[in-house]
Structure 1
Amino acid sequence: MRIAQVSAHYPPNFVSGGTLVPQRVARYVKGAGHESLVYAGYLDKDRRPLETWTETDEEGVEVTWLVTTPWTAWTDPHNYDNPGATAAFSRWLERTAPDIVHVHSLQTLGVGLVEAAHAAGAKVVVTMHDFWWFCSRQFLVDQSMRPCSLVTECGACDCDAAPSIAGRSERLLRALADADLVLAPSRSAARVLAANGVEPRVLRVNENGLLDAQLARLGPEPVARTGTGPVRLMYAGGMQEMKGVEVLGQAARLVGEREGLVLDAYGVEARVDASTPSWFRARPAFDPAELLSVLDSHDVLVLPSIMRESHSILTREALAAGLAVVCTDTLGPEEAVTDGVNGYIVPAGEPRALAERLTHLADDPVGARDLTGRGSSSPIRSFSEQGAELLEYYAGLVEAQDDELEAVRRAQAQLLDKVLFIIGIDGAPLRYRAHLPAEALRMRGHEVVVRHYRDPALLGDVEDTDAVVLYRVPATVQVLDLIERFRTCGREVPILYDVDDLIFDSSLRGTLDGLEKLSEAEEELWWHGVDRYRTTLEACDGFVGSTDMLCQEATRLTGLPSYRYANGVGTLLAQASDRVLLEEGAREDSTVTIGYFSGTTTHDADWAMVEPALAAVMRRHPEVRLRLGGHLEPTGALSEFAPRISRSGFVPWYRLPELLRATDICLAPLTGDSVFNESKSAIKWLEAALVSRPTVATPTGPFREVIEHGRTGMLASTTQEWEEAIEELVTSVALRTSIGAAARREALLELSPRTQGRVYEDILVDAALHLRRNGHRTDSTWEPVADDEPFSAADAPVDPYTVPSRPGVVLPRGLARARRLGRRTLVVARSEGLGSVARRTARKVSRRMRR
């Protein structure tokens, strides 16, 4: 094979850990008997831009250089899209005709090289050594040295909003579509890449390996540390802010003077400031040849990085030498460190959490040394193993044949151009089940329309809609007729029903908590609504549910195929949450606030279940406060703590992050073992996770899916378990911050908008293929229950999915109602004329006078 490595920087012109990898790969390819080429950027102010020449290095690898000196600034649009470099590369491709083009860094060269390689007929491999494809500053750290959201679209960072690079993200993703294979240096980095838009079908891991000779020098087994003196710590990140030197200094000051610690800070010119304790010792940087002797003289490596590390060679070198490692949750290091086993993991940019762990090491030196000698939690491999894996990937691409099933699915996805969501309810459910999937599908190029089930415009949608999803729509004569129109329109249009509660099974009558507050007439109306939901469901081709239990129940009752779509992350709430985190000031008091927020009037029994545990904790800890929100009637069990209990009314959803972030621990109890509660999603965990707050929850199926006990939340069934979980969180800042940070990561990476878009597209494709094979549903034995609700634009507003320009301002209830009526009047005027407005107004006045 003829294999080309492409890198914006390359030795000897530019030497760094990132530039050494393509050089090692190029030489490994040459040594394996393949033709090895390199195309690289060159920095030299004395040479003219785009000057090019070719030379052969000492290993016989042909290197072609291109001068790219003017375009190193991350705010320069030519840094990511350089037409001149693309043209020069295209000419080189014509001359060399490589089989494989393996792209590494592209800063200054631009993503046009990926498209040029694809157009030339080469198989294109992209290794993302960092996060440049989604973050213009490469490491998901903002200009104020704060960690950014792992999913850039869900963050409030404004780096990529610079006018000079507007459209950068869209441009890079468009070019990435021409890559045949995308490689990540670690599993955790691969998760981040997928959440930001890399297609999982082309994503693989090619973990960096240590040089074979270096592995041999480290020895076969890590050596545990012994001794009785102070715990010997080392830091080797120098004065680079992204490596966390300032965070380390803050943590040291919080720890204060201690006899049980000594820290050698290599590459730090002086103590961070005069108040830094004496155990923090500035040391000059050591020569790389001295690494093993430096490691041998320490017990613990401290990596307080703020930057997201796609891998971490130093972490693995330290663990292989027998050290324990205290690192931040910056991805790569975590794969080698297991918290509490061979080190500790703390949230990035959180000096209080780091200080708590360092204090623990100082207070328990024996325990600290027990962490040493454990080695890496994941295997450390050699560069030879990495190179061999790459050759397998290359050969697989050259020999690959088209996957027919995958081709059919992609073609079907392209046919689903317009998707229509018909909704029957407003508020948070509408946002999670219609607006968010609509947003996610638009990111994948689909046209998506969201309409109320009484909107007359639905009749026109029959002509050009390719898939229909009815969310929580009650059966009406008009809705059933609309469904029939879609069924007989002459095109294969899959029709799905979506709901996020078990409200389509009237056999549950008499088993649900909360309905006892309704009058007999109100309860009868409620169950009539259940039958109407069931009627619409029975008229559809499939069911989309938020939990496994909901899907199982829908299939059991109706025989319809079910598809799981979990409630996920939307960009607007995620950005609002990120903004709260970025704007938060330093915490000055020691209070711990526990919160429970009820969205409906049916959760009194749930809350009563946890009151005894909470009372026990509050008696022991006078610093604990309780905040209750929404509809809730607590019992008298907490009356003795009345001065420490506050109530919060409902707030707009975009203000929810402020409320949750002001809460240190969130509770999500559910009573009993009912099918109804097992069908409820883990929304309370998700919303708290977005602001890095831990949740204690009842272990229903949905909560067990998202909560790994002690890592991404706490699970509790009995009163004792609730008390123990709350107590553990109340007494440890480090645990609260670690769990909150881990929960936020899982929420963003597992449920990001781009990930959710892939899931929903797959659902629509599956439903369309099922329809092709089986036709529309025709065999329901359900007796329909439907009301007559004529189409009416005035009665069909849809809550907008927007955040007000001044989100801090909440309109008084009367003014808000007036604004809604004004919008509705405008809709009627536009669609039905001013005469209709006058007639409707007269009817409303007449009804009010009769009351």
Structure 2
Amino acid sequence: MAVVSAHLPPNLTSGGTLVPQRLAHGLAGRGHDVRLYGGHLSEGEALESWNEVDGAGVPVRWIRITPFTSWSDPLNSVNPGAEGDFARWLKEHPADVVHLHALQTLGAGLVTVAAATGARVVVTMHDFWWTCARQFLVAPDLTPCSLAVSCGACPCAVDHAWLERRNAELGRHLARADLVLVPSRTAAAVMIANGVDERRVRVDENGLPPDSVPREVVRTPADRVRFLFAGGSDPMKGLPVLLDALAQVPAGGWSIDLHGVDAGAVAGLGEHVQARPSYAPGELAEVLSAHDVLVLPSIMRESHSILTREALGAGLAVLCTDTLGPEEVVVDGVNGVVVPAADPAALAGALRALVDDPAAVRRMQEVAPQVSVRTLEDQVTGLERVYDEMLAPLPAGPLRAVPTVNRVLFVAGIQGAPLRYRAHLPAEGLRTLGVHTDVRHYRDPEVPALADRADAVVLYRVPATRQVLDLVAQVRARPRAVPVLFDVDDLIVDPGLRGSVHGLEGMGQADLDLWWRGVARYRTTLEAADAYVGSTAALCADVHALTGMPVHRFANGVGAALGRLSERATTRPRTPGPLRIGYFSGTTTHDADWALVERAVVEVLRRHPDVELWLGGHLRTGAALEPVARRVHRLPMLPWTELPGRLRDVDVNLAPLVLDSRFNEAKSAIKWLEAALVGTPTVASPTEPFRESIQDGVTGHLAADHDAWIAALERLLCDEHHRTLVGSRARRSALLRWSPERQGHRYRELLEDAALHVVTHERRTSTWEPVADDEPASPVGGWIEQYPPDEGAVVHLPAWRLRLAAAGRVYRAGGARAVASKVAARVRAPH
């Protein structure tokens, strides 16, 4: 085995450097032939290498990497010189398994070098270097970066474009690894959100030697709450934020020791704030025994945090920031408190709350030792199993090759947000994986030629026309089997729902007939396809029950453009003013949904005379709102590029849906997703998509009845800590679960499944009676909205564009006759 790390003790000792050394020693102690390859920080010639044997008898090859420690140095990321030495070393000492740990300064190319030898290759990510050149997802101005790099604008070590090019190059090397290990579930989620294929990721929590976790510490009594900070002076560990917070906490009833901090840094804060020297590892138990609460104010994202686990094991409560690793063991309000990173006011508030309630601190301390800490011995045993699995021979028998999907054509039948979520965003996700994608309107003259070159064709919300049905026949006639999929994100393919769809009550009979003809046309296109793609489980189940065809689930996700706009909105505080409840209606079909919560909202407004209600978009409200009308602010429909700013300015977002409705059960959780991206908490009806997206009380609130809506609103309005924490956790969940890169992997998998199905199965036959119109190709009619929009542009839709969009909706539903009918009605209408 070859174990590789950019840094190793005794040259550089830290939690991250001890892990590979401990694992190498543990494996060698079990009789394996283990060698270490490590970077060395010292004066001398760059890339000079030499061999030693360490104190445990394990051979070590050192290579001097001192000049490459700058994050902006290209050789920090990819280092051909180090690759050459590593290749020569591996040739001299062939390995069955090459296990690479930290690679900054050595470069990602070592993965490719190792794979070229025929060895099995494992990469352990101890931090986020593979997606963040600065390693910890913190911008140079010490603000936390977007967890999904493509959804942010962090300049990193050079600029964002440089970061994207760097990450793409590193990704090509990482693709040669057989397995990627990460020390925590949240670290795994971050790397998957940034494009690592989740099928190759496994959690391998760091194990600790038995004597490194103090247990049953004898605590010295005190008449005050004693806080401990051990992060030293590194600003990414949060010292400036902590000092700012400490200045906001009145003296009395508490003290804090700051280890590794100069005395000058705490001047003027009072005698209860003491700078202490760094402690040696053997002094840890003594230090922990003299304190009650560990304060971990990190700005840097922590992939694991050994100190958090050591402190809990010793019976300390932990006050930490929401920086991933610590939160895997710190439960807010149970064994500690979690606050947003880089927020001195929130940290000060948490410190004050603990000082004011020593009994709560004692309760947290009582349950703190229940934390489970993995042993080093268990981690070594787990690695042996991993290596055995990787080296085991493949099972005998033929393996069916999955068809390759390199070019995808999305054909769209609608503009606006639906087009963006169901066509542009999956296309964007696929492009992050190197898949070529085209998004075109179904009347675009180039569609037939593009379909001839595509490996898969997706028809999104395309009404049946003779030309569309001819296009499907054209794809079917190709020499190789190419899947045609139909996607729609509403249950508008079932004529049997007539009479049960909310929002159509105001239509005249002629318009209703045209609307339902549109449903029949969508159904016709669906029946012509090989498979269906739906945004919710309910949609997929309903379509499968209707047609019997294969169905694939693809949830609506986060686009890079909306992610960047949302990040920009979160960098500013909410516009000053009272607390605000917001409801933003995207279409005219949500009146019944609003009526579901109107009384509850009014009751909450009466209890809180300073709270405002912001209503956006098309919405008719009831008489119950009249007594509080002066606090209701009506907002017009906005382009989606302005929505993040509006959502940022409300404190609670509402997402009501009428329950027990098949149509509503099929609607996705977009209202939660868009609010989550700006850190605004949502109260939603418990339809399946919202239950799937929201962890109740953690990333939002679910409310099924009048009383539940009131209780959720009261909790969020009255508890600022809870409101802030729910919002920040919702943002994290949205980015990690539905990032463009993660969505790209999911979409490619479903396309590969669909392609394999059409190769291995007979084409299905349909008994549906087709309903189609004649709509020839047209360069004008084939126009489609640009995505992404120009960076920084604020899109204001002129009146003619709004009228054109409205005409397009009518046309898709009922064709040219429907548009003519609407125009005639407009002409006859009184002015």
What band does the TM-score fall into relative to the shorter chain? over 0.9
Q: Residue 542 of structure 1 contacts residue 560 of structure 1 at CA under 8 Å; is this kept in 2?
A: yes
Gap change, CA 1:501 and 1:165, over 3 Å in 2: closer
Q: CA deviation at 1:275?
A: 7.0
Tell me the equivalent position of 1:384.
377
Q: CA deviation at 1:609?
A: 1.8
Gap change, CA 1:371 and 1:847, over 3 Å in 2: closer
Tell me the equivalent position of 2:420.
431
What pairs up with 1:677-716 in 2 under 5 angstroms?
Answer: 677-716=664-703
CA distance in 1, matches of 2:584, 2:771: 35
Tell me the equivalent position of 1:412.
402
Tell me the equivalent position of 1:542.
531
Q: CA deviation at 1:72?
A: 1.1
Gap change, CA 1:664 and 1:131, over 3 Å in 2: same
CA distance in 2, matches of 1:488, 1:378: 62
Q: CA deviation at 1:252?
A: 2.8
The secondary structure found in structure 2 opposite 1:641 is helix
Q: Residue 141 of structure 1 contacts residue 306 of structure 1 at CA under 8 Å; is this kept in 2?
A: yes
CA distance in 2, matches of 1:497, 1:166: 32
CA distance in 1, matches of 2:121, 2:668: 41
CA distance in 2, matches of 1:429, 1:29: 54
Gap change, CA 1:806 and 1:150, over 3 Å in 2: closer
Tell me the equivalent position of 1:571.
560
Tell me the equivalent position of 1:358.
351
**Residue deviations 1:589-639 (CA, integer Å, cap 9, x gap):** 562111110000011121122122112222222331211111112223222
Q: TM-score, normalised by structure 1?
A: 0.91
Q: CA deviation at 1:548?
A: 0.8
**2:54 pairs with 1:53:** no
Q: CA deviation at 1:140?
A: 0.4
Gap change, CA 1:513 and 1:543, over 3 Å in 2: same
**2:756 pairs with 1:762:** no
CA distance in 1, matches of 2:708, 2:694: 15
The secondary structure found in structure 1 opposite 2:150 is helix
Q: Residue 71 of structure 2 contacts residue 157 of structure 2 at CA under 8 Å; is this kept in 1?
A: no
**Residue deviations 1:487-510 (CA, integer Å, cap 9, x gap):** 222220111110000111111111
Tell me the equivalent position of 2:184.
186
Gap change, CA 1:461 and 1:376, over 3 Å in 2: farther
Which of 346, 362, 368 is the matching residue for 2:361? 368
Gap change, CA 1:611 and 1:811, over 3 Å in 2: closer
Q: Residue 227 of structure 2 contacts residue 293 of structure 2 at CA under 8 Å; is this kept in 1?
A: yes
**2:473 pairs with 1:479:** no
Q: CA deviation at 1:159?
A: 1.4
CA distance in 2, matches of 1:307, 1:677: 41
What CA RMSD, in Å, does the superposition of the two structures yield over aligned residues? 2.6
Tell me the equivalent position of 2:137.
140
Q: Residue 539 of structure 1 contacts residue 777 of structure 1 at CA under 8 Å; is this kept in 2?
A: no
Tell me the equivalent position of 1:302.
295
Q: CA deviation at 1:847?
A: 14
CA distance in 1, matches of 2:158, 2:617: 37
Which deviates more, 31-40 or 74-83?
31-40
CA distance in 2, matches of 1:533, 1:651: 28
**2:5 pairs with 1:7:** yes
What pairs up with 1:737-776 in 2 under 5 angstroms?
Answer: 737-776=724-763
**2:495 pairs with 1:498:** no
Gap change, CA 1:489 and 1:794, over 3 Å in 2: same
CA distance in 2, matches of 1:451, 1:404: 42
Q: CA deviation at 1:273?
A: 6.4
CA distance in 2, matches of 1:535, 1:819: 23
Q: Residue 478 of structure 1 contacts residue 790 of structure 1 at CA under 8 Å; is this kept in 2?
A: yes
What pairs up with 1:120-519 in 2 under 5 angstroms?
Answer: 120-159=117-156, 162=159, 167-215=165-213, 218-219=214-215, 229-254=223-248, 256-270=249-263, 276=269, 279-375=272-368, 378-401=371-394, 408=400, 411-414=401-404, 416-519=405-508
CA distance in 1, matches of 2:764, 2:575: 61
CA distance in 1, matches of 2:553, 2:186: 25
What pairs up with 1:78-89 in 2 under 5 angstroms?
Answer: 78-89=75-86
Which deviates more, 304-313 or 641-650?
641-650
Gap change, CA 1:226 and 1:682, over 3 Å in 2: farther
The code of the aligned residue for 1:567 comes to N
Q: CA deviation at 1:358?
A: 2.1
The code of the aligned residue for 1:187 comes to R
Tell me the equivalent position of 1:32.
30
Gap change, CA 1:297 and 1:647, over 3 Å in 2: same
Q: Residue 309 of structure 2 contacts residue 371 of structure 2 at CA under 8 Å; is this kept in 1?
A: no
Which deviates more, 495-504 or 637-646?
637-646
Which deviates more, 698-707 or 639-648?
639-648
Q: Residue 75 of structure 1 contacts residue 165 of structure 1 at CA under 8 Å; is this kept in 2?
A: no
Gap change, CA 1:729 and 1:258, over 3 Å in 2: farther
Tell me the equivalent position of 2:659.
672
CA distance in 1, matches of 2:545, 2:115: 48
Tell me the equivalent position of 1:627.
614
CA distance in 1, matches of 2:600, 2:326: 37
Tell me the equivalent position of 1:93.
90
Q: CA deviation at 1:528?
A: 0.9
The secondary structure found in structure 1 opposite 2:727 is helix
CA distance in 1, matches of 2:736, 2:786: 26
Which deviates more, 752-761 or 422-431?
752-761
CA distance in 1, matches of 2:503, 2:140: 50
Gap change, CA 1:649 and 1:344, over 3 Å in 2: same
Which of 748, 765, 769 is the matching residue for 1:783? 769
Q: What fraction of aligned residue pairs are identical, expressed as a percent?
A: 53
Unaligned residue ranges in structure 2 (runs of 5+): 808-822
Q: Residue 545 of structure 1 contacts residue 565 of structure 1 at CA under 8 Å; is this kept in 2?
A: yes
The secondary structure found in structure 2 opposite 1:691 is coil
Tell me the equivalent position of 2:634.
647
CA distance in 2, matches of 1:653, 1:57: 60
CA distance in 1, matches of 2:162, 2:268: 42
Q: Residue 210 of structure 1 contacts residue 381 of structure 1 at CA under 8 Å; is this kept in 2?
A: yes
CA distance in 2, matches of 1:269, 1:680: 56
Gap change, CA 1:510 and 1:156, over 3 Å in 2: same
CA distance in 1, matches of 2:802, 2:599: 40
Q: Residue 302 of structure 1 contacts residue 325 of structure 1 at CA under 8 Å; is this kept in 2?
A: yes
Q: CA deviation at 1:282?
A: 3.3
The secondary structure found in structure 2 opposite 1:794 is coil
Tell me the equivalent position of 2:18.
20
Q: CA deviation at 1:378?
A: 4.9
Which deviates more, 122-131 or 368-377?
368-377
CA distance in 2, matches of 1:73, 1:754: 28
**Residue deviations 1:418-472 (CA, integer Å, cap 9, x gap):** 1111110000000000000011111222211111111121221342222111110
Q: CA deviation at 1:485?
A: 1.5
CA distance in 2, matches of 1:849, 1:127: 69
Q: CA deviation at 1:363?
A: 2.2
Gap change, CA 1:808 and 1:452, over 3 Å in 2: closer
CA distance in 1, matches of 2:804, 2:549: 43
Tell me the equivalent position of 1:832.
none
CA distance in 1, matches of 2:194, 2:396: 25
Gap change, CA 1:115 and 1:257, over 3 Å in 2: same
The secondary structure found in structure 2 opposite 1:412 is coil
The secondary structure found in structure 2 opposite 1:515 is coil
Gap change, CA 1:621 and 1:849, over 3 Å in 2: closer
**Residue deviations 1:72-91 (CA, integer Å, cap 9, x gap):** 11111011111111111111
What pairs up with 1:550-561 in 2 under 5 angstroms?
Answer: 550-561=539-550
Q: Residue 567 of structure 2 contacts residue 678 of structure 2 at CA under 8 Å; is this kept in 1?
A: yes
Q: CA deviation at 1:398?
A: 2.1
Q: Residue 639 of structure 2 contacts residue 795 of structure 2 at CA under 8 Å; is this kept in 1?
A: no
The code of the aligned residue for 1:128 comes to M
The secondary structure found in structure 1 opposite 2:133 is coil
